[in-house]
Amino acid sequence: MIRTDGWNRYCIWEHSSQVKELYRQRCREEAPEMTCAAQAARLLEPLASPGDTVLDAGCGSGYFLHSIRKRNLELKYWGVDAAQSLIEIGRQELAAYGLSPDRLLHARIEDLDGAADHVVCLNVLSNIDNYHKPLERLLSMARKTLVLRESCSDTSEYRYVRDRYLDAGIDLKVHVNTYEVTQIMDFIQSYGFAAERITDEWTQGKREMVIDYPHYWTFFLARRIR
C-alpha cells in the first residue's frame, strides 16, 4: 500500500519523548532559557520596533516567545515547525502567555510564503539536507533582519547519521551538517543583505558535541540593505 504520512514517520523530532518533555517545560518556563535564544533576542532588541512581526522558523514548540517577552519586545510572534507534535505542545502551553494557537503553524520552511519584519532561525538548517532552498525562503520573507544560528566552520562537512537518542525501538537517521562560513555569508549577501558573523555565547566559538557529533555554532546577523 502506498501512503503519504512518510514525513511524520521519518521525522526524528516526532520520536523523542525526552525532547517533547523538555520543550513542554520550556513553554511553561520550568526550564532555563537557552543561551542562544537569549542571544538572538538581544540581537533583535536594537533593531525591532513595537508592532513588528517576528517569524521563528523551526520554532519547536515556540518557547522563543519567552525570550522576547523577557526583554519587553513588543513583537507579533509567529512560529513554524515541521513536527506536528511539537507545535501542538506550544498551542497547548503558550495560550496561557497570550499567544493565540493560530500563531503556531505546522509546516516546513519550504511551505512558507509571505513576509515578516524579522526572521529567527536557530539550530535548524544544520539538520536538513542542505541550506540553500530554506535559507532563500527565509531571506525572501525577511523585510528587515534575519538572525541565524547554525553549525559553521572554515570548511563544509555533510553527515547523515543514526540518531541514537530517540525513543526505544526507533531507528532513524538525521543530517548533521557543518557549512562553510564564507559560503553562508556570500549567499546571504547575494539576496540584498549585509551579513555579520557573531561569536556564539554558549560555545564561545568552540566545538560542541550534539548527539555525539561535532557542531560549530555560529550566529549570523543579516540586515536588509536593498
Q: Is residue 147 part of a domain?
A: yes
pLDDT of residue 226: 83
Specify the number of domains making up the chain: 1
Q: Which domain holds residue 94?
A: 6-224
* Residue pair 62/90 in contact by the 8 Å Cβ criterion: yes
Q: Is residue 49 part of a domain?
A: yes
Q: Is residue 62 part of a domain?
A: yes
Q: Is residue 1 part of a domain?
A: no
Inter-axis angle of helices 181-189 and 132-141, nearest 10: 40
Q: Is residue 209 part of a domain?
A: yes
* Residue pair 78/103 in contact by the 8 Å Cβ criterion: yes
pLDDT of residue 97: 97
Q: Residue 56 forms beta bridges with which residues?
A: 79, 120
Q: What is the pLDDT of residues 34-77, one digit of tens each?
A: 999 999 999 999 999 999 999 999 999 999 999 999 999 999 99
- Can you give 104-124 as a three-state secondary structure string? EEECCHHHCCCCEEEEEEECC
Q: Is residue 166 part of a domain?
A: yes
Number of neighbouring beta carbons within 10 Å of residue 81: 26
Given a cut of 90, whether residue 192 has pLDDT beyond it is yes
Q: Is residue 93 part of a domain?
A: yes
Burial class of residue 111, CB neighbours in 10 A (0-12, 13-18, 19+): exposed
The rounded percent of the chain whose pLDDT value lies above 90 is: 99
15: domain CATH number?
3.40.50.150
**pLDDT band for position 114 (cuts 50, 70, 90):** very high
**pLDDT band for position 159 (cuts 50, 70, 90):** very high
Q: Is residue 157 part of a domain?
A: yes
